[in-house]
Structure formats: structure tokens, C-alpha cells
Amino acid sequence: MNNHLIELTTFIVKSLVDEQELVSVKEFPTSEDDTILIEVMVSNSDMGKVIGKKGKTANAIRNLVQVASKENKKVKLNFDAF
């Protein structure tokens, strides 16, 4: 479990959205040993803030979390709304 990556992702996403209490960040197991999968859920009204124009904000979040990873694994971030 990569708690530091979950905490970092949560901090970044919550700083971008209006409905912070609805942010959910969880790690899920993958079939690939070299990959960390993190699912980010936000409210539908905040989705645009997290994705950004042409996905630039989402890519920036992915890059920050990847750099913060202390393991030699690829970090995949999936964003979804409810």
C-alpha cells in the first residue's frame, strides 16, 4: 500500500475542488507487478477542475504523483465523477 501517494493525491485534488468532502482516493490492486493504480473520485461538478483544459491538470497531477513514488513502478491515476 502506498499511503504517501494516496495522501499526496488527496491533498492535491482537494486543493482544486469545491466539494472537498466528496473526494475519494483509493489504491486498487493490478495484475501488473510494476504498476500502482489509484482511483480518484470527485463530484460531477468538480470534474472539469480536476481534468483541466485538454487534460493538462490531470496530467500535472499524474506527473507529481509519479515523481513522488519511491518505488520503480508506473503510477496510473484514473479520474471519475459521481
pLDDT in the model for residue 65:
97
Among 4, 25, 3, 5, smallest CA distance to 14 is for 25
What's the burial of 42, exposed, middle or buried (CB within 10 Å: 0-12/13-18/19+)?
Answer: buried
Give me the number of domains the chain comprises: 1
pLDDT in the model for residue 70:
84
- 3-state SS class at 46: helix
Q: What is the pLDDT of residues 13-69, one digit of tens each?
A: 999 999 999 999 999 999 998 999 999 999 999 999 999 999 999 999 999 999 999
Q: Which domain holds residue 52?
A: 3-81
Question: pTM of the predicted model, to two decimals?
Answer: 0.93
Domain CATH for 69: 3.30.300.20
